[in-house]
Amino acid sequence: MNNASNISNLADRLRDDVRSLGIMAALIGGLILWFATVGSTDRVTYRGVDQAWAEPGRIYLNTEPPGHYVIERNADFAAMKVGCTYDLSYDVKFGRNQRGNRLKTIRRVNLVGC
């Protein structure tokens, strides 16, 4: 009788542990998905196009502070004015060795002020 109750208690604890691990994995996965969907945002002052880089269809921005930003040639880029401050939302990259000088591909541009 005692062995049966010990096995039952052990099974209940194992079931609770597995449920907790499943919930934790779902929360971590949701957090990673949220960061991948939302991206990250930096507030910068736009100083013009970086003339040192040239690539068809893509523009490298000269900003203060510098940040290695790349934007597609689209309506957002056409609306940007030199000297204005913008919030630049860009893709987040996960993994090791992600240095601060990597290219940041801009998804959205929001004007903060001129």
Q: pLDDT tens across 30-44, in order?
A: 887 776 666 678 889
Please name every residue paired with 64 in a beta bridge, in sequence order, or none if there are none. Answer: 45
Q: Which pLDDT belongs to residue 14?
A: 81
Banded pLDDT at 100 (limits 50, 70, 90): low
Share of the chain above pLDDT 90, in %: 15
Q: Which pLDDT belongs to residue 86?
A: 93
- Give the model confidence (pLDDT) of 57-95 as tens digits: 888 998 998 888 898 888 888 889 999 999 988 877 665
User: What CA–CA distances, in Å, run from 100 to 9, 67, 69, 71, 112?
Assistant: 51, 8, 11, 18, 23
SS3 content of the chain, % helix, strand, coil (to 5): 35, 35, 30
Arithmetic mean of pLDDT, 13-42: 82
User: What CA–CA distances, in Å, run from 90 to 9, 11, 13, 15, 66?
Assistant: 50, 47, 44, 41, 14
What are the structural domain ranges in the chain? 1-38, 40-113
Q: Which two tokens stand for residue 78?
A: 């056409």
Arithmetic mean of pLDDT, 18-47: 83
The overall pTM is greater than 0.75: no
- For residue 101, pLDDT over 90 is answered with no
- The domain 40-113 is placed in CATH, from the list 1.20.58, 3.30.390, 2.20.110, 2.40.50, at 2.40.50
Q: What angle do CA 28, 34, 38 make, to 5 degrees?
A: 155
Arithmetic mean of pLDDT, 100-111: 82
